[in-house]
Amino acid sequence: MLMLDSIVANRIDEAKQAGATIVACQNTMKNVTLTEADMLPNTSYVSAGVVEIIKKQRAGYAYIRP
Per-residue pLDDT of the chain (66 residues; tens, 9 = 90+): 899 999 999 999 999 999 999 999 999 999 999 999 999 998 999 999 999 999 999 999 998 877
The fold of 9-58 is Hypothetical Protein Ychn; Chain: A, (3.40.1260)
State the Cα–Cα distance between residues 27 and 39, nearest whole angstrom: 14
CA 49 vs. chain centroid, Å, equals: 8
Note the pTM of the prediction, 2 decimals: 0.82
- Rg, Å, the chain Cα set: 12
- Residue 65 is predicted with a pLDDT of 79
Measured from the Cβ of residue 22, the count of other Cβ atoms closer than 10 Å reads 15
CB 3 within 8 A of CB 36: no
- Residue 30 is predicted with a pLDDT of 97
- Residue 63 is predicted with a pLDDT of 85
